Amino acid sequence: MAFKQIGILRTAFVVFAALALAATASAQPREAVVATANPHASEAAAEMLRRGGTAADAAIAAELVLGLVEPQSSGLGGGGFLLHFNGATRAIDAYDGREIAPAGATPTMFLNAEGAPMGFMEAVTSGRSIGAPSLVAMLKLAHDAHGRLPWRVLFEPAIKLADEGFAVSPRLNRLITMAIARGGLTVDPAARAYLTDADGAPLAVGAVLKNPAYAETLRELSRNPRALAGGRLARAIVNAAHADPIPGALTYSDLRRVKPRRLSPVCGPFRRYLVCSMPPPSSGGVAVIELLGLYARAAVVPEDKDDAEDWSAFLWASRLAYADRDFYVADDRFVPVPTRQLLARDYLDQRFREIDLARAPRGVAPGDPGRATGGLPLIDMWGRDTTNEAPGTTHMSIMDHAGNVVALTATVESVFGSQRMAAGFFLNNQLTDFSFRPEINGKPVANAVAPGKAPRSSMAPTIILTPDGNFYAAIGSPGGSAIIAYVARTIVGFTDWGLSMQDAIDVGHIIAAGPVARREARRVPAPLVRTLASRGWSLRESEAEDSGLHGLRVTSNGVEGGADPRREGVVIRVPPPVPAATLPAPLPDAAAAPTR
């Protein structure tokens, strides 16, 4: 007994010493790192860090800039999810800023008079697609908990840029051109005028774009974080949502009811790490963790980024995880989501037994996590929803000088959202993430429309911890439902394949969400494609794998960042502040200076 007590005391001392050492290390200023989808946004974040701000401060400043320079992806009229890692306590908080359906929403609002689903773009540009914007309220909630700089200071870079103007980037020009070529930007004359020149042509690369209306909105929000819920800004939002064609049901009461949530993340093991991401209403976190759990069982001894065995394991895991995600995951305030059962070891072991690396699956059905974990059967609850998501989204990963980390994914859903503007910003079309059909094969769909309900999302801001609970990596991406595959494959890249964060981001995508897998053009090696095809995988070349992965990872040489070359992001490193003791002595003032 005495030896046992000595052992316990020795263990306790070692643990205490390790924690004390970690606390001491975390208290030391370190280099901060920013990775966002646009140079202006990365610089805004870096400016906040230089001024003593936290990762939360930097992320908010960056997102306010992105709403201006990358309006096709995110902004004040949308929503998002944010994960925060506390460098001192090592706690992770998840923030839910997903838009919600108005009180007047109905399960059949995306069906036409014949009871068939509306055309997708008809629904996107309708007023019915607009959910109550929740991004700003979520950012304020995160700032209250983790910010240091005054709220108003975070708006300064975006206000300055909106007033002075910025050069239209190649990506913004390309997406304006694409939207017009496909018949878009027609429902709101103000939106089309904002994005075109005097001759009605898409704004050219390098053209200076100013947005005084956005600057004024930011000034109002800097003084009153709830300004979108009432007054001038609320009127602008409601009027845009109620405009023809196909007016929506959004009201002032819906805007006032916006209440973002602070949640616990969903976490699961992968190799020696703990992967944490967003819980429902995001399906992204659950699916990424399930996919990685299945892949780890199938790829016991991983090889490298060109290995057909690894990719077969990844594609099989993708098919199984996507099938479960389509069937079970929705807003858990409205339907029971078996999150714990989907990630349980017994269920993953059972699903793994379906994998045969020598051949592709002929068909994949959702599993039954209830029965596999000793509970009631769940497979007969729902009709399977395969609603797709448009890739109008952005992601950033930021670490501050104290080791706090933010992974933020924000969105207006489709390109330029609903293509309707209010007070200088675009409004979302988030409600098209709901299933257009409330029933499939006579069964209710978990992701059906309901008043006050959040539509299912695939956004997956992710933070990964080491076995001792320290920060290891942060990653996330835009990309609609492909986010799940983008994020999981990148994690495989910097863990199993030994790649740097940047090299892992650069690897070509293969997305197996259904029977035909999409492979990224020119980035997936031809020998790998031939081998996978010989195993029965149907691979369709795609030019549209427009991920926007931005990540950070701790290495023995410090923190490395990565920015997706498929977009316009950059990584900025911000040196730690110089301790006062090492600063040179001040020069004598003019009165005391010696004369010649």
Which tens digits make up the pLDDT trace of 135-179?
A: 999 999 999 999 999 999 999 999 999 999 999 999 999 999 999
Confidence of residue 388 (pLDDT cuts 50, 70, 90): low
Q: How far apart are the C-alpha atoms of 435 and 446, rounded to whole Å?
A: 9
Mean of pLDDT values over 12-22: 36
Cα distance between residue 263 and residue 190, in whole Å: 38
Choose among 293, 317, 273: nearest CA to 475.
273
Q: What is the DSSP string of 536-549?
A: T-EEEEES------
Mean pLDDT of the region 398-422: 97
pLDDT > 70? residue 380:
no
Task: Name the more confident of 6 and 527.
Answer: 527
* pLDDT tens track for 448-507: 999 999 999 999 999 999 999 999 999 999 999 999 999 999 999 999 999 999 999 999
Domain assignment present for residue 15? The answer is yes
* Stretch 337-343: mean pLDDT: 96
Task: Please check whether residue 11 lies inside any domain of the structure.
Answer: yes
Residue 395 maps to a domain = no
Residue 464 lies in a domain: no
Residue 497 backbone phi and psi in degrees, to 5: -95, 0
pLDDT in tens, 52-101: 999 999 999 999 999 999 999 999 999 999 999 999 999 999 999 999 99
Digit-coded pLDDT (tens) for 357-371:
999 999 999 999 987
- The band of 23, judged by pLDDT with boundaries at 50, 70 and 90, is very low
pTM equals 0.91
Q: Do the domain assignments include residue 251?
A: no
pLDDT for residue 24: 38
Residue 101: inside a domain, yes or no? Answer: no
The answer to the question of residue 557 being in a domain is no
Query: For the chain, what is the mean pLDDT?
Result: 91
Q: Which residues are catalytic?
A: 393
The answer as to whether 512 is a domain residue is no
The C-alpha atoms of residue 220 and residue 425 are separated, in whole angstroms, by 14
The domain of 2 spans 1-30
Task: Map residue 241 onto helix, strand or coil.
Answer: helix
State the average pLDDT over residues 583-595. 41
pLDDT for 12: 34
Encode pLDDT of 309-325 as tens digits.
999 999 999 999 999 99
Structure tokens of 514? Answer: 């259904």
- How many Å apart are CA 385 and CA 425, to the nearest integer? 31
Structure-token pair, residue 65: 């800039």
- Average pLDDT score over residue span 381-399: 73
Taking the C-alpha atoms of residue 168 and residue 70, their distance in angstroms, rounded to an integer, is: 10
How many distinct structural domains can be found in the chain? 1
pLDDT for the residue 196: 98
